[in-house]
């Protein structure tokens, strides 16, 4: 391949080294920037039932959050009520004289009106600039209300999207009480960020719950996947912590291990047969129920033997181009898919996993490398240009040229892409699990559809509408 449409070509380990040494500077243009600290902290806290996120900000900050979560068709489908999002409605007077008094009044009003179990104050940029002491107000307000009241300094300039998640999980740890007893055979699932907001694929969580139940493993709390304050309080009574979203779960798992001495099972995402077996056994072995888990694996494997056989026939010898930026809900999922296709005999190429992602998820990337996952990686110049790099004309043209350079290619990503090869449209299973044994069945169906429909013409008009 020529270098005119290749910015980096190597493997995941090589890309990590370039990011660590600063050779490949992980900068994002404004249009590429991920969510800020305020938003990511909100997403975690919004996963706690009967928790009122109270925004200490002008109305625009609250409008953004409440409208976003409502646009994501999330409440009824997930079965979790959308909690109110009150706001102090910062104005010019508050900027000059301070908004602490108004904040205290708003906390009292929210407790009286909504009767929540927990109120969490989130400060915005304006409150951070003038120095309002939201932690002090939280302590003072808690003396006068029935709810627990906490505060998090979440102004956007105070950190990036990762610090919002991590600070919110640290705040949740303050709610965990010393254990009255150890609940044998129970676990906490860490790293979830689903309440009403569709920040993850809740169907994956249901598949995990199903497999755990089959093995006789009980879930104490899913932090913060629609959990209650009571579940968080007794989180330390669980026997083991495990991850759902590995990237976020491992951080909270490490924090709870260091602070409370709770064991943590370090497992990746259960995409495909091997990773699913590793995930379930990684939970079962510390609980001394490996025998039961192996029986579950045996039964479930028998059910998907046709799909396993098909995937091996369909993918063996192919070059599988996986584009994490399209429909994977994060790059770690894209890398998990790369491992899955490699398991079935394909050669994975991960396309356009941005250096910023490598920098911000470095502990997770290093763990994946330790497990033996080190796929070929290609970055194109389009990923560094302005615009949403998941769908822009430059990256589409670069993808098409890359496909031409390989034989027997199959693409895993979005149907909005138009490479001259079978397109596995993973967006079709956004309402179905990709994890576990049912995930194997769903992905097998998508691969089969992609291969059958390869010869069908695709709309040139839609391509022009997307890319111009």
* Sheet of strand 8-11: strand arrangement: 8-11, 376-379, 347-351, 319-322, 409-413, 423-425
pLDDT at 108: 97
CA pair distance 316, 133, nearest whole angstrom: 60
List the chain domain ranges: 8-30+305-467, 37-159, 183-303
CA pair distance 67, 86, nearest whole angstrom: 13
Structure tokens given for 171: 């705040």
φ, ψ dihedrals at 283, nearest 5°: -85, -45
Nearest to 250 by CA among 371, 80, 150, 426: 371
CATH architecture of 8-30+305-467: 3-Layer(aba) Sandwich (3.40)
Question: Using an 8 Å Cβ cutoff, are 173 and 255 in contact?
Answer: yes
pLDDT at 427: 81
- The DSSP element (H or E) to which 20 belongs, if any, is helix 12-21
pLDDT at 199: 47
Q: Residue 308: helix, strand or coil by DSSP?
A: helix
Structure tokens given for 317: 């010898």
Nearest to 322 by CA among 349, 356, 355: 349
pLDDT at 64: 65
Fold of 183-303: Rossmann fold (3.40.50)
Please list the pLDDT of the chain residue by residue as tens digits (468 residues).
Answer: 456 889 999 999 999 999 999 888 766 655 556 678 888 888 888 888 889 999 998 887 776 666 555 555 444 444 555 567 889 988 888 888 889 999 999 999 999 999 999 999 999 988 899 999 999 999 999 999 999 999 999 998 887 778 888 899 999 999 999 999 999 999 999 987 655 445 456 788 889 999 999 999 999 998 988 889 999 999 999 999 998 877 878 889 999 999 999 999 988 899 999 999 999 999 999 999 999 999 999 999 999 999 999 999 999 999 999 998 877 767 888 999 999 999 999 999 999 988 888 888 888 899 889 989 999 999 998 888 766 666 688 889 999 999 999 999 999 998 899 999 999 998 887 678 899 999 999 999 999 999 999 888 888 898 888 888
CA pair distance 213, 170, nearest whole angstrom: 29
* Sheet of strand 51-56: strand arrangement: 51-56, 118-123, 148-152
Domain 37-159 has CATH 3.30.230.10: no
Chain Cα centroid distance, residue 15: 22
pLDDT at 251: 84
Q: Is the dihedral of CA 194, 188, 275, 191 positive or negative?
A: positive
Give 122's strand partners. Answer: 55, 152
CA pair distance 83, 430, nearest whole angstrom: 24
- Give DSSP secondary structure letters for 101-140: HHHHHHHHHHHHHH--SEEEEEE-HHHHHHT--HHHHHHH
Instruction: Please list, in sequence order, all residues whose beta carbon lies within 8 angstroms of the beta carbon of residue 31, skipping any fewer than 6 positions away.
Output: 386, 387, 388
Nearest to 9 by CA among 356, 349, 405: 349
First to last CA, the chain: 26
CA pair distance 318, 316, nearest whole angstrom: 6
pLDDT at 356: 83
pLDDT at 75: 46
Nearest to 339 by CA among 439, 238, 265, 250: 439
Question: Using an 8 Å Cβ cutoff, are 52 and 118 in contact?
Answer: yes
Instruction: Please list, in sequence order, all residues whose beta carbon lies within 8 angstroms of the beta carbon of residue 280, skipping any fewer than 6 positions away.
Output: 211, 212, 215, 270, 293, 296, 297
Q: In Å, what is the CA distance from 16 to each residue of 101, 213, 245, 294?
A: 48, 38, 21, 35
Q: Please check whether the two domains, 37-159 and 183-303, share a CATH topology.
A: yes
Question: Using an 8 Å Cβ cutoff, are 215 and 284 in contact?
Answer: yes
pLDDT at 278: 95
Pair type for strands 148-152 and 118-123: parallel
φ, ψ dihedrals at 317, nearest 5°: 85, -5
CA pair distance 406, 156, nearest whole angstrom: 43
């Amino acid at each position: 391949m020529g270098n005119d449409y290749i910015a980096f070509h190597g493997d995941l380990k090589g890309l990590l080294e370039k990011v660590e040494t600063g050779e490949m500077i992980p900068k994002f243009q404004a249009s590429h920037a991920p969510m800020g600290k305020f938003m990511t902290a909100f997403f975690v806290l919004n996963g706690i039932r009967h928790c009122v996120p109270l925004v200490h900000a002008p109305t625009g900050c609250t409008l953004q959050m409440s409208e976003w979560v409502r646009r994501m068709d999330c409440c009824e489908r997930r079965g979790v009520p959308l909690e109110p999002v009150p706001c102090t409605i910062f104005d010019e007077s508050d900027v000059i004289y301070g908004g602490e008094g108004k904040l205290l009044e708003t906390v009292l009003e929210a407790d009286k009106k909504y009767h929540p179990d927990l109120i969490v104050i989130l400060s915005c940029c304006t409150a951070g600039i003038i120095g309002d002491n939201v932690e002090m107000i939280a302590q003072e307000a808690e003396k006068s209300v029935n709810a627990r009241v906490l505060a998090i300094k979440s102004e956007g300039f105070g950190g990036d999207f990762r610090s919002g998640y991590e600070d919110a999980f640290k705040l949740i740890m303050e709610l965990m009480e010393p254990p009255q007893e150890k609940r044998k055979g129970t676990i906490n699932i860490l790293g979830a960020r689903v309440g009403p907001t569709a920040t993850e694929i809740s169907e994956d969580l249901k598949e995990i719950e199903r497999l755990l139940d089959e093995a006789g493993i009980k879930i104490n709390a899913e932090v913060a996947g629609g959990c209650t304050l009571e579940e968080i309080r007794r989180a330390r009574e669980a026997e083991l912590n495990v991850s759902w979203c590995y990237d976020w779960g491992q951080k909270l798992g490490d924090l709870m291990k260091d602070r409370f001495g709770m064991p943590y099972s370090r497992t990746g995402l259960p995409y495909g047969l091997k990773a699913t077996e590793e995930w379930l056994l990684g939970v079962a072995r510390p609980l001394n129920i490996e025998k039961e888990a192996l029986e579950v694996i045996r039964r479930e494997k028998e059910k998907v033997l046709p799909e396993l056989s098909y995937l091996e026939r369909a993918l063996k010898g192919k070059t599988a181009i996986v584009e994490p930026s399209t429909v994977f809900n994060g790059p770690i999922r894209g890398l998990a898919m790369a491992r899955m296709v490699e398991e079935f005999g394909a050669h994975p190429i991960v396309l356009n996993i941005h250096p910023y992602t490598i920098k911000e998820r470095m502990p997770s990337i290093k763990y994946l490398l330790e497990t033996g996952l080190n796929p070929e990686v290609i970055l194109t110049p389009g990923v560094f240009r302005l615009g949403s790099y998941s769908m822009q004309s430059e990256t589409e043209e670069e993808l098409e040229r890359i496909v031409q350079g390989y034989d027997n290619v199959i693409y895993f990503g979005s149907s909005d892409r138009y490479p001259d090869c079978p397109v596995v449209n993973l967006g079709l299973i956004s309402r179905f699990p990709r994890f576990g044994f049912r995930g194997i069945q769903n992905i097998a169906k998508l691969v089969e559809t992609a291969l059958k429909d390869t010869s069908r013409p695709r709309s040139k008009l839609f391509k022009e509408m997307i890319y111009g």
